[in-house]
Chain A
Amino acid sequence: MSAAEDVVTEAPAVEAVPKRAMTLGTGTSLVVLAALLIAPVFVKNFIIFQMTMLLIYGLAVLALNILTGGSGQFSLGQSAFYAVGAYTTAVLMEHFNINYALTLPIAGVVCFGFGFLFGQPALRLSGVYLALATFALATAMPQLLKLNFLEHWTGGVQGLVVTKPDAPFGLPMSQDMWLYYFTLVVVIAIYIFSVNLLRSRSGRAFMAIRDNEIAASAMGVDVALYKTLAFGVSAAITGIAGSLGAIAVQFVAPDSYTITLAISLFLGMVVGGVGWLPGSIIGAAFIIFVPNMAEGISKGLSGAVFGVLLFLVIYLVPHGARQVAILGQQLAGKLRKN
């Protein structure tokens, strides 16, 4: 065995995204915000519910985006963190009668701990190994939730029913509409937090690790700490998304959180553009509405449609929605000049 065959020059696992390209400009942000605020007034309750789910999945995709687009680590196991968040909320609400709003930070803390601990061994892994470990985590999660000795708390295979909260202070709003605005506030708060996180010292450390781990450690970045931190933050946000999801769907069961969910979230990130935070919501729209349409045509078709579209995205627009947005901007610029 010669020395040459063992030496590998490793290309970065994720293509570098400049920090400025990660967010939207102020003007666009305000327009999107206004649209999100006004829209529910004009639509039916079922559509409001779907918009709530859109925000929730958007949040989960955002969490994965911080992990992969920010720190360059993979996870095919986001469904596990989502499940832990959902179950934390369901158990706290149904067994301890804790207010739904208070369960969110608790779920966040629990998932942060879980993600941080899972990140410890994952630290030593990179690229495909990390994808493998998280893939195994996502596959094993439903079985862990079905465990006998947890059944008293988790309800086993049956799952738990969660009560939907009413609008507080006697506000004249349907439950769905209240939940939508509640979710919107949480999502906006976390979005602002994430943008600031990526602009902070920690965010720069994440990106330095993503682009070149050895160079980052040479510059004095504590690689081990920041890698686990990225895992923890991502898990915490995913957990909060899971909590909101449990409240919105009013039900948690082990088989809602299979590898399929993890794959969907991963797909949402790729479609939205890795490292482009606003793309998360576009990715979420994709993973919610495309299966609905596909199942409308034929049962079981959604996986095939997902897969084919994913291939199209990685061949044609490898940077996902971000690339489309940039192309659109350039086109608009050209039209204006003419």
Chain B
Amino acid sequence: MTKNAPIKPHSASNHNAAPLSLVNAHSDKKATIGLDLMTYEQLEEFGEELNTVRQRVLDDLGQKDADYIRRVIKAQKASEVLGRIGIFMPFFPPAFIAGILFLGLAKILDNMEIGHNVMHGQYDWMNDPMVDASRYEWDNIAPAKDWKHGHNYIHHTYTNIHGMDRDIGYNMFRIDEDQPWYASHRFNLPLAFILMLIFEWGIMYHGVELDQYLQGKITKEDFQGRKKRALKKIRKQVFKDYIAWPVLGIALVPFVGWWAPVAILVANIVANVIRNVWSFIIIFCGHFPAEVQTFAEEDAQNETRGQWYLRQLLGSANISGHKPFHVLTGNLSYQVEHHLFPDIPARRYPEVAEDVKLLVEKYGLQYNTGRLSKQVASVIRQLAKLGHKPDDPYKIGNSPESKALRRAKREAAAARREEEARAPQLTS
């Protein structure tokens, strides 16, 4: 049997590389993803059809898309300036509260419709340093560089593959039936609530990859680089929001009272929390509702572009809503379309969704979507349900049965490596 040629990477999203196929160097076995739904030929055709959609949009990019992102940036900057002014009026509560809301809105726009999308390389074709993926840094504790690696490369390439996509439950929650259960998962819901409030710190910690370092999957230099960048970004963000701006508020003390800087500090904290809660909700609804599927590494190895697309389709969920809602989510409410085409400007997702729906109908596939309330409820139910200790001992991470299974797998892998090491000597 001939081996599939690896999928060519999609060029425009080449920020810390994405998305390539998952190649198994030792086996020519074709990936089994989607074979229960379509034939192998249909899968290839499906891939071709989606490639055509992507190319059509890429060929059509131009002034309108440039104008759009600049309009959003303008709105973001205006909102930020209004917010900063508003929170300097703690003596006038309506302006103060409006200031907090504007600042929160500015951070949401910066992180989602601008930051997330720009850092995907969606606007690289404009060749404008202000919307260039390699240069953009967002108003968030997490440094852009490590976020791009973890998100654009790891998460968008190995979406929902157990053991590869670190975004399944963020090493913290049991959100999928196939994740092993540990005692800490009893606290799924309260932990999720806490993470929601401090989400930007969670993203930063996730990008430092301490777990990967402790497991020996990344080098010490890599880990230390991540740590250093994170500390630098923390310093800058904390200094700006929690020290510099409140200190400027000291000028208000003679007129307002000793508490003016404190009010400004609190306003900054609240604005960051508003952004944290909002982005947490949108992101958890993108992959964690019950109907979203996950995959095993063996099934995805040597996949074709069509299978890669199908995995993205089945592994994501949309949130329905009106246009302002979509802008506030950074169009991540079109999570399915975003995962199919991470590198095309997000404002194009509604248009692309029409093509995707036609293909979904044609092949009789599943298309996950629902209102925000429905998706949120589904995520909460999942977290609650999967936090309970399962009856099946193989689903419990540190049961004797699971340990034996892991040991057997480790030994099999070691044996295979040994065999390979011996193989060349036999042939020579």
A binds B: no
